[in-house]
Amino acid sequence: LLDISWYTESMRAGLPVQILDTHKLQEQRTDEAEVVVFCVPSYACQRRTTLENHNTILTDALSLLAENAELSDQEGRGVAFRRAAAVLKALPRAVTGVTQLRGLPCLGEHSLRVIKDILETGASAEVESTKQSERYKALKVLTGVFGVGPKTAERWIRERIHTLQQLQDSGHTLNRAQQAGLQHYDDLNQPVAKAEADAIAEVVERAVVSVSPGAQVTLTGGFRRGKPTGHDVDFLITHPEEGREDGLMSKVVSWLESQGFLLYQKTTRNSYLESKDGPARPASNMDRFERCFSIFKLHEDEGRGTGHPGTPTGNTAAANTGSLGDSDSRSQIRGGEQRLLVSGEDGGPEETKPAGHRPWRAVRVDLVVSPISQFAFALLGWTGSKLFERELRRWAGHEKSMSLSSHALYDNKQSRYLRATSEQEIFAHLGLEFVPPSERNA
Ligand code: DCT
Ligand code: MG
C-alpha cells in the first residue's frame, strides 16, 4: 500500500534519502541525509494520529478548504482536503519543503499547490481569499445556528441573508430547532471544555442510573479521543442485558426534562433491524440508533469550574428571555463575524459582570442508546474522528470486502455478520492493528 517508486528512483539517481516511517513511529536516521522524506500508509485507520500536530499551519489551511467545500455541497473535494490534512497530521515533525512529501498518499495536485504556496510564501492566496469571502463568512454564520444545514444556508444566501440580524428581519419561519439555535447562538458557538463535559456526564449518569440501575454511560466523540474541547458532548448509553435498553431513552429524557436540564430536545427512534435492513449500509450510518439531539442547560455549580464556583444559581427559566441570543448583554449578534464576544476571552480586558449575569450556559449534547450486542460497533462509530470512521469503512469495503456500520460488520465473502464485543475484536476482524481512541485524531 506504500508507493515507494520515488524512493528507488532517488536511490538510483544517487540522492541521499531519509525515510521517516510514521507507521512504525521510528525515525530511520542517515547522517549524510539531505532530504528528509516521510512515509505513511494510505488509510487513516492504518495510522496513529495523536493530538500532537506538527503541521497546524498547513492542516488548518487544508481544513478550511475542506470545510468550505463541505458547506458548498462539494463532498468529494471536502474529503480530498480532509485526507490530505490527515496525512500531514500524522507526520512526526514539521514539513519544511515539498520534496519531503514525495511518495506520500492522498496529496492531490490541489492540496500540494496549497502546501507549496504556504511553505514558500507563508500563505495560500486561495485560503486567504476564501476566508475573506462574503459567501464563506455567511455560510459559517448561518450554519452556526443549530438546526441550519448547508442547504438552508445556501438558500438564504441566495436571498441575500448573510447575518443573523438579516435572518431575523427576513421574517422566515424557523423550525423549533432553529429557534433554539438562534436563541442560544453565542453559547453553542463557544467551545465546550472537558471539565464541562465531565460535569454533564455526571448529570447524565445520575439520570440513567435513576431510571435504569445497571445501565451504563460512555463519553464518546472527541472527548474520548482526549480532545480538550469540543463543539458538543456525545454519550453512548447501553444496558448489559440485551433488551433492557428498550425504552431507556424516553425515560432518561423525561428525567432530565423534569429536572430542568434540557433547553431543547428532539428524539429519533431506532429503526435498525438486522434481518430487515440486511448488510447494505444505510444512507447515513449514524441515524439508526435511538438518538436524542439536545441543548443542555449547564449550571455553574454543576462543575463549570471556570471562575465562579459556588455562585448561587437559581434554576429558573426567568433568565431565558427569548430574545435573540441567550447570552447576556455583553454578547452581540453580529453576523459576518466569526468570533462572538465572550467575557474575558483570550485574556483580554476583564469586563465587569453585567447585572443580568446568567449562571448557566447552553451546551449541545447528543445521547445515543445502543443494545449491548451492537455496543462495540456503536462505540467505535461514535468515537471518531469523522475521517477515521470514513476511512475504516473505506478500508472494510475496498480492502476486505466487508461492510462496517455503527451497528454491525458484515463479511460479503462469507455472507455473514462478524460479531464483536470489543473495539479490539473489530480491528482484528478488519485485519488492522488496534488503534486506541487517543490515536484516532485523523
Ligand atoms: N460521526 C461520523 N460521521 C458523521 C458524524 C459523526 O462518523 N458524519 C461520528 C464520529 C464522531 C462522532 O460521531 C461524534 O460526532 P461529532 O460530535 O460531530 O464529532 P467530534 O469528533 O466529537 O467533534 P467535536 O469535538 O467538535 O464535538
Ligand atoms: Mg462531539
Catalytic entry in 186, 187, 234, 326: 234
Least confident range from 248-252, 267-271, 385-389: namely 267-271
Helices (H), 337-422: 375-383, 386-400
Q: What is the pLDDT of residues 108-117, one digit of tens each?
A: 999 999 999 9
pTM of the predicted model as reported, rounded to 2 decimal places: 0.84
Q: What is the pLDDT of residue 303?
A: 62
Nearest to 59 by CA among 135, 118, 142: 118
Average pLDDT, the chain: 84
8 Å CB contact between 299 and 315: yes
CB-ligand 1 contact for 55 (6 Å cutoff): no
Give pairs for 170-178: CB < 8 Å, separation 24+: 174/147, 175/147, 176/147, 176/264, 176/266, 177/146, 177/147, 177/264, 177/266, 177/293, 178/145, 178/146, 178/147, 178/148
Distance, CA of 266 to chain centre? 20
Q: What is the pLDDT of residue 302?
A: 85
Q: What is the pLDDT of residues 4-24, one digit of tens each?
A: 444 444 444 444 455 555 444
Known catalytic membership, residue 346: no
Known catalytic membership, residue 234: yes
8 Å CB contact between 70 and 2: no
Q: What is the pLDDT of residues 274-307, one digit of tens each?
A: 666 665 544 444 447 899 999 999 999 886 444 3
Cα torsion through 287, 289, 294, 299, rounded to 10: -140
Q: How far apart are CA 180 and CA 363, in angstroms?
A: 12
CB-ligand 1 contact for 51 (6 Å cutoff): no
Q: What is the pLDDT of residue 270?
A: 74
Nearest to 272 by CA among 253, 250, 291, 287: 287
pLDDT grade, residue 417 (50/70/90)? very high
CB-ligand 1 contact for 385 (6 Å cutoff): yes
CA–centroid distance, 384 to ligand 1, in Å, is: 6
Q: How far apart are CA 236 and CA 220, in angstroms?
A: 7
Least confident range from 21-35, 130-144, 195-209, 332-346: namely 332-346
Q: How far apart are CA 440 and CA 442, in angstroms?
A: 6
